[in-house]
Amino acid sequence: MSKTGIIIVDHGSRRQESNALLEDVAQRFADRFQQQYDIVEPAHMELCQPSIATAYERCVARGAMRIVVCPFFLGPGKHWTSDIPQLTAEAAAAHPGTHYHVTMPLGVDDLILDLLAKRINHCCDHDYTCQQCQGTIRSGDATADQTSAD
């Protein structure tokens, strides 16, 4: 039976913290679902590495003949309808005999709604001044350092 590779892809950022978040997501997914998927790779659509082509190559090198590309995006915008499928098709062309599929974006799901409630409750439970936002423009503090909001 042929192996399936999973590529979790985001936009990519000039901020290393944002790119590291995707690597963390991919690793956590790999750890949690290791019995079902033993090949999981992160990828960024643009701006940084690994690219979709690099992640596809890594999946194939690890034995995958089927590649499932999962956009780490909420909505079905241009990246989902055009950019990611095109980049994936280009990557697949370098590996004859492999097959790929791009999943739906995350979209609206009860789990997303639960996550929204979790984020909102965190603010409410910390009297709107949690450690992550205190002293920044995110806290609504008019005297906050504007540069700390990046």
pLDDT tens column, 8-64: 999 999 999 999 999 999 999 999 999 999 999 999 999 999 999 999 999 999 999
Domain with 56, as residue range(s), is 3-102
Q: Same structural domain for residues 19 and 38?
A: yes
Q: Same structural domain for residues 139 and 66?
A: no
Q: Same structural domain for residues 125 and 73?
A: no
Please calculate the CA angle 28-31-33 and round it to the nearest 5 degrees: 105
CA distance 31 to 60: 20
Q: Same structural domain for residues 91 and 21?
A: yes
CA distance 76 to 9: 14
Number of structural domains found in the chain? 2
Q: Same structural domain for residues 30 and 91?
A: yes
Q: Same structural domain for residues 87 and 117?
A: no
How far is C-alpha 13 from the geometric centre of its chain's CA atoms? 11
Q: Same structural domain for residues 74 and 16?
A: yes
Q: What CATH number is attached to the domain comprising 74? A: 3.40.50.1400
Paired sense of beta strands 99-102 and 3-10, if any: unpaired
Give helix 84-93 / helix 52-61 axis angle, nearest 10°.
Answer: 40
CA distance 84 to 44: 10
Q: Give the E-state strand segments of the chain in sequence order.
A: 3-10, 39-44, 64-71, 99-102
Q: Same structural domain for residues 126 and 97?
A: no
**What pLDDT digit, counting tens, does each position of 84-123 carry?**
999 999 999 999 999 999 999 999 999 999 999 998 898 8
Judge whether residue 149 has pLDDT over 60.
Answer: no
Q: Same structural domain for residues 84 and 127?
A: no
Q: Same structural domain for residues 29 and 61?
A: yes
Tokens representing 111 are 């789990």
